[in-house]
Amino acid sequence: MSSLPSVSAEAESPDAGFSPSRDRADLITPEMSVADAFSLLAAAPAEEAGRRVRKLDSKADPEVLHKLRVALRRLRSLWWAYEPLLDRKDAKFQRGEFKSLATAAGKTRDWDVLRDLLLAGESMPYSFTSLLGSVDEHRADALAFSRTAIGNAGVERILECALVGARDQLDSRASSPTLAEFAEDRVGSAEKALKKRLKRAVSHEDPGYAVLHEVRISGKRLRYLLEFFSPVLEGNHQATIERLTSVQDELGKLNDIVTSETLLREYSPQLGDHTVVKEAVRYLEDLKKRRMHAVQDMLNAAS
């Protein structure tokens, strides 16, 4: 049996371009207010998102869109962390805005991942070469959509308004917890949510992709919060961050396969030779089954 291909930029380098220091997390201190910490932590991913938007052009490297999505995901996690101190309706709206922008940026990358998976399958008894031209055409259309959607959205203005609005809400509070208390509480909530989803995943012999995806999202959120707040948390959390990153790698690879299979099924009438498309679907189905078994074994071991 051939080995599973590893083609995901996210899986190989989750959140490439970011580190706790670049998020300025190393600058927060226990004496700092929760409002000042928020402004400090939000600045780096917001600046990164704006920088990536400005780099978009007709020949945009997939990594530009990927890093834009990473920055937006980190902002969503920060808003989740601060939600108890913000207007909950507004915080939920802002997280939805960031998610919509990330989805628009992700459409191009989905085609890139599918293409890489098909190329990785060239060693199989069948060839997917005839599909690649159609995939490239759809990728070009997706890039045009991503550029238009993101360009028309006014991302930098959205970010500016979100940061100013959140800071105003934090400053208007009559009282706030200390930063250390707040960080411990929110990290604890994220950890509790991950344990709940992990328990659900390992309690079933075949939990299904949706359950595993919830583990991935919860693990990613906890990792982000540990990276944000490590300087004011008790103990050293680097080993936990590394374990979460490793789990995210594997779950990211599974997510890429599932997304590619969904994309292939959705666009199959437009991709040419139906026989080749069916073979490609079967190939991805086989990859998905093997990857899900590998992920399940990993989670069982981790738990």
Helix, strand, or coil here: 303?
coil
Q: At residue 273, what are phi and psi to the nearest 5 degrees?
A: -55, 115
How far is 206 from 300, CA to CA, in rounded Å?
12
Q: What is the pLDDT of residues 118-129, one digit of tens each?
A: 988 765 555 788
Residue 211 exposed, middle or buried by CB count within 10 Å (0-12, 13-18, 19+): middle
Which of 15-19, 52-56, 269-273 has the weakest average pLDDT?
Answer: 15-19
| pLDDT score for 188 | 97
Which one, of 36, 41, 30, lies nearest residue 178 by Cα? 30
**pLDDT value at 219 more than 60:** yes
Domains and CATH numbers, the chain: 15-302 (1.40.20.10)
Tell me the two tokens of residue 208: 């299904």
> Is the C-alpha dihedral spanning 201, 206, 208, 212 positive or negative?
positive
Q: Tell me, what amino acid is at 290?
A: R
Question: If residue 211 lies in a helix (H) or strand (E), which one and from where to where?
Answer: helix 209-229
Angstrom distance (rounded) from CA 56 to CA 50: 10
**Interval 39-98: pLDDT, tens:** 999 999 999 999 999 888 655 677 788 899 999 999 999 999 999 999 999 999 999 999
Does the pTM of the predicted model rise above 0.75?
yes
Mean pLDDT to the nearest integer, 265-273:
89
More confident residue, 125 or 134: 134
| Res 11 pLDDT > 60 | no
Q: Mean pLDDT across the chain, nearest whole number? A: 86
Contact 143, 62 (CB under 8 A): no
